[in-house]
């Protein structure tokens, strides 16, 4: 084991490249929280994009994050040496049910799915959108089982299990480009029927020069 561990080091030294430059950064990114709010998941308010609906709040947080993206900076010493912060700045959006049921028929099944998808989330995208409203509409459609992504989501996170959404967004010219990760977990309490919604920024960490 010790011999094999020395092989990459020896090769790196032979070609004149520092050994640490070949190692991945840990952590490989740094996040900066921005805003936190709650939003209603009720069908009719979201269809109408009413204030306080999940769809309206998501679009609002995304617009605000984009408007301030040139002003934000990562925390000092965010990446461990010898790594450094690398652009571009990404916008993060997280949507998690506020309350979960403690006892229900699918509890064991959803608990298993939670374990599986926490380590290997369901991934959708990249999806391109012209506006914050269009991107919010895409997520709303996926969450309701619409389109090819929504069909897959309902197949892999069906029954009583509830998704938790994580969206990574960056700006490409005049478009948003979003990648969606979903953790399939325990059933949400629909008597509450609200989600915690947060926004923030993310920078990658890459080996320094």
- The model's pLDDT over 15-48, given as tens digits with 9 standing for 90+, comes to 444 444 457 888 889 999 999 999 888 777 677 7
Please give the share of the chain, as a percent, with pLDDT higher than 90. Answer: 56
Report the pLDDT value the prediction gives residue 62, as an integer from 0 to 100: 93
pTM for the predicted model, two decimal places: 0.82
Residue with tokens 């010898």: 82
Please give the share of the chain, as a percent, with pLDDT higher than 70. Answer: 88
What are the residues whose beta carbons fall under 8 Å from the beta carbon of 159, sequence distance 6 or more?
Answer: 106, 109, 110
Residue 128 tokens, joined? 């391109």
The answer on pLDDT for 59 being more than 50 is yes
Whether residue 195 contacts residue 61, with contact meaning beta carbons closer than 8 Å, is answered with no
Q: Please, where are the H alpha helices in the chain?
A: 2-14, 43-47, 54-67, 107-119, 132-143, 147-156
């Amino acid at each position: 084991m010790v011999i094999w561990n020395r092989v990459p080091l020896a090769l790196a030294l032979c070609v004149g490249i520092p050994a640490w430059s070949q190692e991945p950064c840990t952590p490989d990114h740094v996040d900066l929280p921005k805003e936190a709010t709650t939003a209603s998941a009720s069908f009719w308010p979201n269809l109408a994009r009413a204030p306080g609906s999940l769809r309206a709040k998501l679009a609002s947080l995304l617009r605000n994050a984009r408007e301030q993206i040139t002003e934000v900076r990562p925390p000092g010493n965010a990446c461990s040496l010898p790594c450094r912060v690398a652009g571009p700045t990404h916008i993060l959006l997280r949507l998690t049910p506020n309350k979960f049921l403690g006892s229900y028929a699918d509890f064991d099944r959803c608990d298993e799915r939670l374990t599986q998808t926490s380590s290997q989330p369901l991934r959708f995208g990249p999806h391109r959108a012209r506006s914050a409203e269009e991107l919010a509409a895409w997520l709303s459609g996926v969450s309701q089982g619409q389109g090819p992504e929504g069909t897959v989501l309902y197949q892999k996170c069906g029954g009583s299990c509830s998704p938790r959404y994580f969206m990574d967004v960056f700006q490409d010219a005049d478009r948003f480009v979003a990648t969606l990760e979903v953790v399939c977990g325990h059933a949400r309490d629909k008597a509450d029927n609200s989600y915690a919604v947060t926004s923030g920024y993310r920078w990658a960490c890459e080996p320094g020069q």
